[in-house]
């Protein structure tokens, strides 16, 4: 009986659902018929009415792009400005006789072959129903001439746009970067609705790093337009939120001094205020005119920059990775003191070369005759390689890497200049990963004198020097100090990360800083030519090898091509008692750090601290 | 109407989807064909509506691939297993809805997203599937038609998530989830007398609903009743979309040639208002072809429901098919001015991923109900 009733239930269920599905089907058909009836009414019966409305459609919503924030230096000097620019645009879809229109236009506004070539190129890549620029940078007279005749040119508009300009040109190109037209790759990264009216985006430097602050947020307006899409008047809308102005730590005076000090050399200068981590100057030479890139650089000009052997587009200050050479010795000395493997008062003996136990390879000191007996201070002052070979050997690569890492070697500083590279702090793990080889003890020695695989950017060296000047207070470097809503008084400081560097006994700072002061003031100092009465400097010279000298050879600059010459390096901070500036100068293929790079750093410090003119001593002093 | 009489299929010795490669892959050929044609149509329209942005089309294609993958995977799952998964899936969905109210991300003024760390997820989408599953599960435990107690239970299981979603607030999704529950009740055999009573109660509850709506929701209803009263605000959408459709006429202005669409009169033209682009560029003929496609898919779904071998499959398949219909009706109704503006996309045509994935998952379950039918009977 039970089986019967369940069979009966199943039959009843099946019937019930089939009926319901059928009813639902009828209801669906009815509902969609209602939709279809409404469509017939709109598209057939009222078609004429809506066609007229469509032709006369007058109100549309347009995005209003925000104004990009301006950039000022520490003294309030304007470094990035917006200026209005008018361009003549043709909406190809709305023009019946394109060739005739361009002909008639060129009668009132000059159009040359270059303009036509660009127009043809952009026309092929255009988005339908969007204007293609025929002429850029119209003069006010040209705008006026076109306005009078504009009724003759349906589909042709003058568009006003704010164009970025960099009044200091080459001077700020590497640190500020520049803005340029948004490309397809960038389209995938940005919020396209927020950039609906924006045509430019930061492409490098501060402009890219602070894109979010500088750009602002899009607004909307409802505008009355005629049938051809020409705007007649604005009805209402929501104003855009303008981008925030940036106030930098960068001081254009110091920046210019650094640029001039480098002269025609290739190289980089980074100056940091140790108290704030603020970047006072960030220079890479040679430079380029960023204004060329804003509206799109012409192909030949771009190729000239791109393929120049001097690489003017390459930002050496944050992307140039150089062996730090002897400039790393103060930090290695601190590592030894902090770990207790050296005692500042206990000397080592330098016979001119160093050998690891049981190995025949001789690690040479730069002075072939040796330094004799040297303690830590003289080892830094005279840059004795053997002293640091022994120190590094006792310390070992793991502790050396760990300690130098706290100064920022081997990792990105996080500076607000886009495109920064992180250098290379060699370690066992790196060797295993990159070269599939174990670490050899001899490599530790080479790292100890800042050569070999060890690489640092000028910025990293400047940050490390500022940290030393601060006696262990590491501050993340920043170019921008604060942002500000345009027109308001209230500014908002940008935050920076900090961390302490521990060297055990604080006296270790004094010992190393005293040694660095002797580099400038001592009788045997490698940078004594830059000594000044105006303030006291602590520094360290360095040379980074471009060319590896063989075991039995010696380095002879005269025999080498100029591009194979060593790079000259110098790190310094001043005044010693109360540091207000830390500087790194690198002159590519400049030779000795003391002779070439130190005077550059001195001029930068003078510009910031207001010192006297460079006091040039005799040519008696040697580099390392 | 398309669905065969129920009794015929009982004796029918041959399962229509049981033979051939696609049958062995548990794919229902008519449904799959209908969906693929619809999606292809959608991509062609999207290319125009996005101002010929191939990037948007490619992104949509990737989502479509994902959605089809999920559909295929779910089609392999035996309905008996789906049935056993139902309470945990529903419970999880409910938990996530509560979580989203407590810790969810706010997007466009509404709290809808749950950030899981590796992806952002909209729990309300899951409920579009979980609610019809739950109603089916409840009804399948005893022979149909359901007792009053079960009807009340199903109503409660539907209303709790609906209220949670409406609170986010996301009116469009709340309506769809409510429709999912209601569709399950209807297919499951809710008595006609009760249906009439609920309709009467609903009409009398309207004022209560009005007072619980957010300002912008009320504004939408007011604007719907008289779009001309606010030609620059919310009425703008309705007026512009009707101009676009009306000016398209019988045969349209031609693909890529809609002036309303390309001169940027039409807001949201590649998402919720994409039907207006179709109407303008492809005309009445284009929209009717689209509606015919939808009708075909809905009928195939209802036919699967009618022929399913157990109540769980029947109620689930019917519920899912009718939710798909509600999608179509609410969206087209809103674009042509029959219904107020609520955020419901044109299914499988509008740009956007979440609804596409959920819809395809639903079709995967429909295919599972259809293709595992024979094996389950024995």
B5, closest residue in chain A (CA to CA)? A18
Dihedrals φ, ψ of B180, to 5°? -60, -45
Residues of A (50-89) whose Cβ lies below 8 Å from B? 50-51, 53-55, 57, 59-62
Q: How many CA atoms lie within 13 A of B288 on its CB side?
A: 15
Contacts of B240 in chain A (CB under 8 A): 57
Instruction: Give yes or no for residue A613 having a pLDDT over 60.
Output: no
Query: Is the pLDDT at A372 greater than 70, yes or no?
Result: yes
pLDDT at A1 over 50: no
Answer for the pair A20, B311: CB distance below 8 angstroms, yes or no. Answer: no
pLDDT in tens, B8-25: 343 343 444 445 677 778
Q: Which two tokens stand for residue A167?
A: 């009044």
A612 and A599 Cβ atoms separated by less than 8 Å? no
Is residue B186 a contact partner of residue A24, using CB atoms and an 8 Å limit? yes
Task: Give pLDDT tens digits for A489-536.
Answer: 888 998 888 999 988 899 999 999 999 999 999 888 888 899 988 899
Q: How far is CA A347 from CA A379, A389, A449, in A?
A: 9, 14, 18
- In this complex, the residue of A29, A50, A60 whose CB is nearest that of residue B264 is A60
Comparing CB atoms, the residue among A15, A35, A127 nearest residue B333 is A35
C-alpha to C-alpha distance for A26 and A32, rounded to whole angstroms:
10
User: Which two structure tokens, joined as six digits, stand for A624?
Assistant: 């390392």
Q: Indicate whether B288 belongs to any domain.
A: yes
**Catalytic machinery residues of A:** 326
Gap from B101 CA to chain A (nearest CA, Å): 26
pLDDT of residue B7: 41
From the list B6, B243, B267, the residue facing A53 with the nearest CB is: B243
> At A485, which helix (H) or strand (E)?
none
pLDDT above 50: residue A330: yes
- Nearest Cα of chain A lies from the Cα of B132 at a distance, in angstroms, of 15
Whether the pLDDT of residue B96 is over 90: the answer is no
Q: Which of B265, B183, B158, B168 is nearest to B217 (CA)?
A: B168
**CA angle, B93 as apex, B89 and B94 as ends, to 5°?**
120
Q: Please list, in sequence order, all residues whose beta carbon lies within 8 angstroms of the beta carbon of residue A270, skipping any fewer than 6 positions away.
A: A279, A281, A282, A283, A317, A458, A459, A461, A462, A583, A584
Compare all CA atoms of chain B with the CA of A10 and give the residue at the minimum distance. Answer: B143
Question: What is chain A's Cα-based Rg?
Answer: 34
Residue that is written with structure tokens 């645009």 in the block: A89
Nearest to B99 by CA among B84, B114, B83, B79: B114
Least confident of A307-311, A521-525, B207-211, B351-355: B207-211
| B289 has a pLDDT exceeding 50 | yes
Token digits of residue A202: 């930061």
Write the CB contacts of A125 (distance below 8 Å, at least 6 apart in sequence): none
Whether residue B248 and residue A32 make contact (CB cut-off 8 A), yes or no, is no
User: Is the distance from CB of B101 to CB of B164 less than 8 angstroms?
Assistant: yes
Confidence at B324, pLDDT banded by 50, 70, 90? very high
Best of B183, B262, B302, B347 to disrupt the A interface (most A CBs within 10 Å) is: B302
Say if B2 falls within a structural domain. Answer: no
Q: Which residues of B touch A50 (CB under 8 A)?
A: 242-243, 245-247
**pLDDT tier for residue A52 given thresholds of 50, 70 and 90:** confident
DSSP 8-state assignment for residue A595: I
Indicate if the pLDDT at residue A575 is higher than 50.
yes
Answer yes or no: do A24 and B299 touch at CB < 8 A.
no
How many domains are there within chain B?
1
* CA B152, B158, B161, B167 torsion-angle sign: negative
Q: Give CA–CA dist B104/B363, Å, rounded.
A: 29
The rounded distance, in Å, linking the Cα atoms of A165 and A176 is 11
Interchain pair A25, B302: CB under 8 A: yes
Contact partners, residue B219, CB within 8 Å, separation at least 6: B230, B233, B234
How does residue B6 score in pLDDT terms, banded at 50, 70 and 90? very low
What secondary structure, in 3-state letters, does A85-133 show?
Answer: EEEEEECHHHCCCHHHHHHHHHHHCCCCHHHHHHHHHHHHCCCCCCCEE
Q: CA–CA separation, A374 vs A380, rounded Å? A: 9
Out of B267, B288, B303, whose CB is closest to A36? B288
> Which residues does chain A have within 8 Å of residue B303's beta carbon, measured at their own beta carbons?
21
Interface residue A234 vs chain B (CB under 8 A)? no
Interstrand relation of A231-238 and A267-273 (parallel, antiparallel or unpaired)? unpaired
Q: Is there a contact between B232 and A229 if contact means CB atoms under 8 Å apart?
A: no
CA angle A121/A124/A128 to nearest 5° reads 130
Q: What is the rounded CA–CA span in Å between residue B34 and residue B40? A: 10
In chain A, which residues have their Cβ closer than 8 Å to the Cβ of B179? none
Please name each of the domains of chain A with its CATH number: 60-92+100-248 (3.90.1310.10), 252-303+315-609 (3.40.710.10)
B39 vs B5, higher pLDDT: B39
pLDDT at B190 over 80: yes
Nearest by CB to A17, which of B247, B288, B306?
A: B306
Q: Rounded to whole angstroms, how far apart are CA atoms B23 and B15? A: 9
Output the 3-class SS for chain B. CCCCCHHHHHHCCCCCCCCHHHHHCCCCHHHHHHHHHHHHHHHHHHHHHCCCCHHHHHHHHHHHHHHHHHHHHHHCCCHHHHHHHHHHHHHHHHHHHHHHHHHCEEECCEEEEEECCCCEECHHHHHHHHHHHHHHHHHHCCCCCCCHHHHHHHHHHHHHHHHHHHCCCCHHHHHHHHHHHHHHHHHHCCCHHHHHHHHHHHHHHHHHHHHCCCHHHHHHHHHHHCHHHCCCCCHHHHHHHHHHHHHHCCCCCCCCCCHHHHCCCCCCCCCCCHHHHHHHHHHHHHHHHHHHHHHHHHHHHHHHHHHCCCHHHHHHHHHHHHHHHHHHHHHHHHHCCCCCCCCCCCCCCCCCCHHHHHHHHHHHHHHHHHHCHHHHHC
**Tens-digit pLDDT profile for residues A77-129:** 999 999 888 889 888 877 878 888 999 998 888 988 888 887 887 777 665 56
Tens of pLDDT along A447-498?
Answer: 999 998 999 999 999 999 999 999 999 999 999 999 999 888 888 998 888 9
* Closest alpha carbon within chain B to A184: B55
- Residue for token digits 């952002």? B120
Assess contact for A620 and A589: CB atoms under 8 A.
no
Q: Give the integer Cα–Cα distance in Å for B274 and B338.
A: 16
In a domain, B7, yes or no: no
| pTM, entire model | 0.62
| Distance separating alpha carbons of residues A404 and A287, to the nearest angstrom | 31
- Give A-chain residues touching B306 at CB under 8 angstroms: 17-18, 21-22
Residue B37: inside a domain:
yes
Residues 6+ apart with CB under 8 A from A589: A266, A546, A562, A563, A564, A565, A566, A567
B123 CA: distance to closest CA in chain A (Å): 24
Choice between B285 and A9, residue whose per-residue pLDDT is larger: B285
Residue A385 pLDDT grade (very low, low, confident, very high; cuts 50, 70, 90): very high
N-terminal to C-terminal alpha carbon distance within chain B: 29
Q: Across the A/B interface, how many CB contacts are shorter than 8 Å?
A: 175
Which residues in chain A are contacts of B183 at CB distance < 8 A? 24
Q: Across the interface, which of A17, A35, A187 has its CB nearest the CB of B336?
A: A35
Tokens of A404: 């130098």
> Is A206's pLDDT higher than 90?
yes
Q: What is the mean pLDDT of chain A?
A: 86
Q: Which residues span the domain enclosing B109?
A: 28-377
Say whether pLDDT at B332 is over 90.
yes
pLDDT band for B235, please (50, 70, 90 cuts).
low
- Residue B20 falls inside a structural domain: no
Cβ-Cβ contacts under 8 Å, A222 against chain B: 232, 236
Virtual torsion, Cα A371, A377, A381, A386, nearest 10 deg: 40
What is the pLDDT, as a whole number, of residue B116?
53
Look at residue A547 in the predicted model and tell me its pLDDT: 55
Beta bridge partners, A542, equal: A569
- Best of B11, B263, B339 to disrupt the A interface (most A CBs within 10 Å) is B263
Q: Which class for A217: exposed (0-12), middle (13-18), buried (19 or more C-beta within 10 A)?
A: middle
pLDDT for A362? 87
Of A32-46, B63-77, B233-247, give the lowest mean pLDDT range: B233-247
Residues 6+ apart with CB under 8 A from A533: A612, A615
Q: Distances from the Cα of A92 to the Cαs of A99, A106, A610, in angstroms?
A: 11, 16, 60
Tens of pLDDT, residues A170-179: 999 999 999 9
Q: What angle do CA B122, B127, B132 make, to 5 degrees?
A: 160
Task: Show the tokens assigned to A597.
Answer: 């790079």
B225 pLDDT above the threshold of 70: no
Average pLDDT over residues B128-149: 87
Cα separation values, A205 from A199, A256, A419, A531, Å: 18, 18, 7, 34
Q: Which residues are paired to A348 by β-bridges?
A: A374
CA angle B334, B340, B344 (to 5 degrees): 55
Q: Which of these, A411, A508, A395, A515, lies nearest to A447 by C-alpha position?
A: A395
Asked whether residue B23 is assigned to any structural domain, the reply reads no
What residues of chain B lie within 8 A of the CB of A26, using their CB? 1
Residue B66 reports pLDDT greater than 70 = yes
**pLDDT at position B224:** 65
For residue A282, the surrounding DSSP H or E stretch is strand A278-285
pLDDT of residue B9: 40
Q: How far apart are CA A63 and CA A70, in angstroms?
A: 21
Examine residue B161 and state whether it is found in any structural domain, yes or no: yes
Q: Rounded distance, CA A213 to CA A244, Å?
A: 5
Query: What is the separation, in whole angstroms, between the first and last Cα of chain A?
Result: 109
């Amino acid at each position: 009986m039970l089986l019967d009733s369940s069979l009966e239930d199943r039959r009843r269920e099946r019937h019930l659902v089939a009926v319901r599905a059928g009813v639902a089907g009828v209801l669906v058909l009815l509902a969609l018929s209602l939709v279809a009836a409404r469509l017939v009414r709109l598209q057939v019966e009222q078609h004429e009415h809506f066609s007229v409305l469509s032709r006369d459609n007058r109100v549309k919503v347009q995005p209003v792009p925000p104004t990009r924030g301006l950039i000022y230096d520490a003294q309030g000097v304007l470094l990035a400005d917006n200026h209005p620019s008018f361009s003549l645009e043709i909406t190809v879809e709305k023009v019946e006789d394109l060739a005739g229109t361009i002909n008639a236009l060129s009668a009132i506004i000059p159009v040359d072959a270059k303009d036509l070539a660009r127009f043809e190129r952009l026309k092929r890549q255009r988005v339908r129903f969007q204007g293609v620029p025929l002429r850029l940078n119209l003069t006010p007279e040209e705008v006026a001439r076109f306005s009078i005749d504009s009724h003759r040119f349906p589909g042709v508009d003058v568009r006003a746009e704010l164009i970025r300009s960099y009044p200091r040109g080459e001077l700020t190109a590497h640190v500020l970067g520049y803005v340029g037209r948004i490309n397809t790759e960038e389209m995938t990264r940005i919020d396209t609705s927020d950039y609906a009216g924006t045509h430019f985006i930061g492409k490098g430097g501060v402009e890219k790093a602070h894109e979010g602050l500088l750009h602002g947020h899009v607004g909307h307006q409802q505008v009355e337009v005629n049938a051809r899409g020409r705007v007649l008047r604005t009805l209402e809308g929501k104003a855009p939120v303008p981008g925030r102005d940036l106030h930098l730590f960068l001081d254009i005076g110091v920046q210019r001094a650094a640029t001039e000090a480098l002269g025609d050399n290739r190289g980089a200068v980074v100056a940091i205020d140790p108290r704030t981590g603020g970047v006072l100057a960030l220079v890479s030479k040679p430079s380029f005119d960023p204004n060329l890139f804003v509206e799109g650089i012409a192909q030949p000009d771009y190729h000239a920059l791109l393929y120049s052997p001097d690489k003017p587009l390459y930002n050496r200050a944050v992307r140039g990775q150089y062996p730090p050479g002897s400039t790393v010795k103060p930090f290695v000395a601190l590592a030894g003191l902090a770990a207790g493997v050296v005692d500042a008062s206990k000397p080592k003996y330098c016979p001119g070369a160093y050998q690891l136990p049981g190995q025949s390879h001789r690690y040479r000191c730069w002075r072939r005759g040796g330094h004799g007996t040297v303690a830590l201070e003289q080892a830094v002052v005279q840059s004795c390689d053997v002293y640091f070979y022994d120190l590094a050997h006792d310390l070992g690569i793991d502790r050396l890497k760990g300690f130098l890492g706290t100064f920022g070697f081997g990792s990105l500083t996080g500076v607000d200049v886009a495109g920064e590279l992180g250098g290379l702090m060699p370690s066992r793990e790196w060797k295993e990963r990159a070269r599939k080889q174990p670490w050899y003890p001899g490599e530790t020695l080479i790292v100890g004198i800042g050569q070999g695989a060890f690489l640092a950017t000028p910025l990293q060296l400047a940050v490390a020097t500022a940290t030393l000047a601060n006696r262990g207070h590491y501050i993340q470097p920043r170019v921008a100090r604060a942002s500000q809503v345009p027109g308001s008084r209230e500014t908002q400081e940008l935050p920076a990360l900090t961390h302490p560097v521990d060297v055990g006994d604080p006296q270790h700072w004094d010992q190393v800083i005293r040694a660095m002061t002797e580099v400038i003031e001592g009788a045997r100092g490698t940078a004594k030519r830059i000594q000044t009465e105006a303030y006291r400097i602590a520094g360290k010279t360095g040379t980074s090898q471009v060319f590896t000298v063989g075991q039995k050879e010696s380095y002879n600059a005269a025999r080498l091509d100029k591009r194979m010459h060593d790079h000259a390096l110098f790190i310094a901070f001043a005044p010693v008692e109360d540091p207000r500036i830390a500087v790194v100068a690198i002159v590519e293929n400049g030779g000795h750090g003391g002779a070439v790079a130190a005077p550059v750093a001195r001029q930068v410090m003078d510009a910031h601290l207001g010192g006297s003119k460079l006091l040039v001593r005799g040519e008696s002093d040697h580099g390392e | 109407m398309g669905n065969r009489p129920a009794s015929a299929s009982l004796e029918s010795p041959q399962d229509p989807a049981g033979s051939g490669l696609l049958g062995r892959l548990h794919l229902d050929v008519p449904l799959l064909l209908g969906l693929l044609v619809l999606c292809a149509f959608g991509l062609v329209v999207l290319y125009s509506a996005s101002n010929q942005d191939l990037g948007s089309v490619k992104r949509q294609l990737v989502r479509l691939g994902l959605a089809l993958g999920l559909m295929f995977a779910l089609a392999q799952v035996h309905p008996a297993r789906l049935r056993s998964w139902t309470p945990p899936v529903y419970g999880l969905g409910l938990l996530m809805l509560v979580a989203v109210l407590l810790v969810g991300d706010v997007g466009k003024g509404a709290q809808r997203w749950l950030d899981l760390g590796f992806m952002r997820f909209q729990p309300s989408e899951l409920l579009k599937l979980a609610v019809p599953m739950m109603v089916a599960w409840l009804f399948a435990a005893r022979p149909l038609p359901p007792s009053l107690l079960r009807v009340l239970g199903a109503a409660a299981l539907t209303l709790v998530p609906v209220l949670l979603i409406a609170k986010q607030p996301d009116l469009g999704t709340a309506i769809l989830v409510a429709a999912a529950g209601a569709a399950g009740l209807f297919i499951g055999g809710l008595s006609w007398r009760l249906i009439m009573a609920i309709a009467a109660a609903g009409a009398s509850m309207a004022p209560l609903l009005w007072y619980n709506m957010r300002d912008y929701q009320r504004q939408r209803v007011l604007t719907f009743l008289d779009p001309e009263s606010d030609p620059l605000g919310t009425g703008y959408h309705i007026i512009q979309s009707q101009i676009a459709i009306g000016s398209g006429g019988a045969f349209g202005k031609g693909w890529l040639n809609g002036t309303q669409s390309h001169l940027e009169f039409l807001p949201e033209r590649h998402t919720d208002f994409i039907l207006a682009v179709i109407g303008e560029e492809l005309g009445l003929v284009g929209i009717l072809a689209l509606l015919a496609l939808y009708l075909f898919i809905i009928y195939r779904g209802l036919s699967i429901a009618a022929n399913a071998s157990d109540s769980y499959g029947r109620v689930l398949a019917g519920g899912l098919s009718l939710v798909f219909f509600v999608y179509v009706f609410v969206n087209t109704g809103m674009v042509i001015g029959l219904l107020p503006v609520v955020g419901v996309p044109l299914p499988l045509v509008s740009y956007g991923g979440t609804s596409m994935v959920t819809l395809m998952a639903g079709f995967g379950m429909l295919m599972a109900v259809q293709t595992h039918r024979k094996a389950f009977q024995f």
